[in-house]
């Protein structure tokens, strides 16, 4: 069976997709004339997947296991994958988020060789008591480094305060104590549960022929039997756990993150829901918004201010973040503006301006191989079509956006996270 071609004539874009005989979903977006190519392979195994059922067996793993496994996969009996990438000239990396782990590289030459390294990396687990124990010290140092990172802490603290039961309230890397419980057996259990190729997706974008990708897959990928892995999550109340949390760190300017919790039981947002949220973000708090100008004029924020929307299995939240000397004042100003917004809705002018801005953002995204590859892999994990947002941006209405607003930004269900400067403590 060959590739299916998915086209979008108005954008002048297309990508190729297929379910490989190994079980891996492969997606390729050729971009002729681009100087670099980008590849990412991932699985829906992140920090929140700490409890799951694999082949009928219920398993609970220590916090930080997904991140730990990401580190360990770069090692094999043949050596370190980074050293192999150095020979091809590729720039390689990996990351673990709340809900997935991804391995990636970008290169301007020797793409096929680098892709083969990537295939070997995710198929060659090598865990021994000695190598696992060695990694505990390395990751322990990384955890301590993040414990001193104010930008990281303000966000992790916000999740801890907002979520009462959902594992998003736990640090992605775990703790020094939790990773000490990780064993080779635990890592192999997680690998066999989530790194089966039937649970994984490869996306490629750049000056690459889809047949080149397929040929490498045929050579390197082993056929995987399908496995059944079901992630288990506790029931999460709608209400935030705490309305305020703070930490003291050596920062020159305090940081704040104001998070509005939503009903996360629906899972990933649809394309239309997400587009409406993006319009609300831009119209209400973008750099051209009345709120942004008001907060800037009152010196409650600076140029570090931004908004973010997070969503996944069991969680959805909307945050406002940045530096401020007046975290409580900026929090109250935003909550008051939110209350007024629910009374008035987004205006027609703000809606149109936001829609034009997002239209440009969507089009520009198809000129970046990293954005294309990320969107392709996320389209499988979230069930969202990568072209649908472009189509929706011209058809979505102000009524759609204001209807979406009724589900978001509840001023009675929010939490303020603050990183205080040592000098602010009396």
Catalytic positions are 70
Placement of tokens 């288990």 in the chain: 232
Contact by Cβ (8 Å): 112, 140:
no
Quote the crossing angle between the two packed helices 271-285 and 327-344, to the nearest 10°. 120
With a CB cutoff of 8 Å and minimum separation 6, the contacts of 244 are 161, 415, 416, 417, 418
Cβ partners under 8 Å of residue 19, min gap 6: 1, 25, 26
Residues 155, 39 contacting (CB under 8 angstroms): no
Q: Token pair of 65, please? A: 């296991």
CA 343 – CA 337 distance, rounded (Å): 10
Q: Which helix (H) or strand (E) holds 83?
A: helix 81-88
Which among 356, 379, 381 has a CA at the least distance from the CA of 205? Answer: 379
Best CA proximity match to 387, nearest among 271, 248, 257: 271
Q: Which two tokens stand for residue 417?
A: 């996270």
Nearest alpha-carbon partner for 300 in 276, 273, 323: 323
Q: What is the DSSP letter of 221?
A: P
Which residue from 362, 388, 366 is spatially nearest to 31, judged by alpha carbons?
Answer: 366
Sole residue written with tokens 């874009």: 13
- Distances in Å between the alpha carbon of 301 and those of 86, 215, 320? 43, 53, 11
Q: Are 49 and 64 a contacting pair, CB within 8 Å?
A: no
Do β-strands 79-80 and 101-107 pair in parallel, antiparallel, or remain unpaired? unpaired
């Amino acid at each position: 069976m060959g590739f299916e071609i998915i086209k979008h004539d108005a954008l002048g874009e297309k990508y190729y997709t297929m379910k490989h005989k190994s079980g891996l979903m492969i997606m390729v977006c050729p971009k002729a004339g681009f100087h670099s190519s980008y590849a990412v392979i991932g699985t829906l195994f992140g920090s929140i997947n700490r409890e799951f059922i694999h082949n009928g067996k219920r398993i609970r793993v220590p916090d930080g296991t997904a991140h730990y496994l990401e580190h360990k996969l770069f090692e094999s009996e043949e050596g370190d994958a980074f050293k192999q990438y150095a020979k091809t000239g590729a720039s390689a990396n990996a990351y673990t988020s709340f809900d997935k782990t991804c391995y990636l590289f970008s290169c301007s030459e020797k793409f096929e060789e680098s892709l083969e390294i990537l295939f070997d990396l995710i198929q060659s687990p090598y865990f021994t008591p000695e190598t696992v124990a060695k990694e505990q010290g390395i990751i322990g140092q990384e955890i301590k480094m993040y414990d001193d990172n104010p930008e990281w802490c303000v966000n992790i603290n916000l999740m801890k305060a907002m979520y009462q039961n959902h594992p998003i309230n736990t640090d992605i890397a775990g703790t020094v104590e939790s990773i000490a419980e990780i064993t080779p057996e635990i890592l192999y259990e997680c690998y066999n549960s989530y790194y089966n190729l039937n649970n994984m997706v490869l996306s490629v974008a750049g000056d690459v022929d889809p047949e080149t990708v397929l040929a490498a897959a045929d050579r390197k990928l082993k056929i995987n039997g399908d496995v059944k892995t079901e992630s288990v999550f506790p029931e999460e109340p709608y209400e935030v756990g705490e309305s305020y949390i703070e930490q003291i760190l050596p920062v020159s300017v305090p940081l704040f993150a104001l998070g509005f919790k939503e009903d996360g039981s629906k899972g990933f947002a649809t394309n239309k829901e997400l587009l409406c949220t993006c319009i609300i973000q831009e119209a209400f708090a973008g750099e051209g918004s009345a709120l942004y100008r008001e907060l800037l004029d009152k010196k409650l924020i600076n140029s570090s201010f931004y908004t973010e929307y997070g969503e996944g299995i069991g969680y959805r939240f909307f945050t406002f973040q940045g530096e401020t000397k007046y975290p409580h004042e900026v929090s109250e100003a935003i909550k008051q503006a939110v209350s007024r917004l629910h009374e008035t809705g987004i205006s027609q002018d703000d809606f149109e301006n936001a829609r034009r801005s997002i239209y440009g953002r969507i089009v520009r995204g198809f000129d970046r191989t990293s954005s294309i590859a990320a969107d392709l892999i996320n389209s499988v994990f979230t069930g969202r079509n990568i072209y649908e947002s472009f189509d929706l941006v011209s058809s979505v209405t102000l009524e759609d956006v204001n209807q979406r607003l009724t589900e978001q930004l509840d001023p009675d269900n929010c939490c303020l996270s603050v990183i205080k400067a040592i000098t602010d403590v009396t």
